[in-house]
Amino acid sequence: MPTTPPHDPEQSRRCVIADDVRVIREQLGQWMRELGYSVVHASCGATALAELRRQSPDIVIADIDMPHLSGLHLLQTVRSDADPKVAAIPVIVSSSLEDGEIQRMVGTLGGSAYLKKPVSKEQLCACVNYLTQGNTTIPLGENTSASHSVSARFRRIASEFREF
């Protein structure tokens, strides 16, 4: 028996969740369904981009470190899309990578919010509610690490962006 009432697909808000870890996708998806979203799961940025172009979602949640197309590349592609509706989709970026530069880079690329993993239900719900009330971004604030150390994985992803 369903725990939430069925939503009319024409009326439902849509979310694309891109993360290469299945359990994270499923948990975030459950929380988004509780907020009234229909959810499309993608195990990489390339799949998320294809889904995003197939049916324009109301919000995207993307991990940074994914195969085929990183979350940063996905964010950059969304923000530079010729369709203004696609370019304006709120994109929440999340990561477990420990680097002081991540939030700066997400902000520079036009990310709507950055959530450090593990993401709690309260964090996600507050972030989504804030962004869906007409706010385009959540101020990143000063919660970056003071050390600005950059991991090898993040350095590999960031090296593909000339401006960083």
Q: What is the average pLDDT across 1-27?
A: 74
Rg of the chain in Å (alpha carbons):
15
**Alpha-carbon distance 86 to 68, whole Å?**
21
Give residue 103's pLDDT: 84
CATH of 14-160, one of 3.40.50.300, 3.40.50.2300, 3.40.50.2000, 1.20.58.1690: 3.40.50.2300
**Alpha-carbon distance 9 to 115, whole Å?**
28
For the stretch 101-157, pLDDT in tens is 788 889 999 999 999 999 999 999 999 999 988 777 776 554 444 344 445 666 666
For the stretch 40-92, pLDDT in tens is 999 999 999 999 989 889 999 999 999 888 999 999 999 999 999 999 999 99
Name the DSSP letter for residue 163: T
Cα dist from 111 to 26, 90, 96, 140, whole Å: 22, 7, 16, 10
Give residue 144's pLDDT: 40
Identify the residue with better confidence: 111 or 12. 111
Band (1; pLDDT cuts 50, 70, 90): very low
Is the pLDDT reported for residue 99 higher than 70? no
AA letter at 128: V
Q: Which helix (H) or strand (E) holds 95?
A: strand 91-95
Contacts of 5 (CB under 8 A, 6+ apart): none
Give residue 148's pLDDT: 44
What is the domain partition of the chain in residue ranges? 14-160
Q: How many helices (H) and strands (E) does the chain have?
A: 7, 5
| Contact status, residue 67 vs residue 44, Cβ threshold 8 Å | yes
Total residues belonging to the chain? 164
Give residue 80's pLDDT: 96
Q: Which helix (H) or strand (E) holds 15?
A: strand 13-18
And the tokens for 74? 């996905």
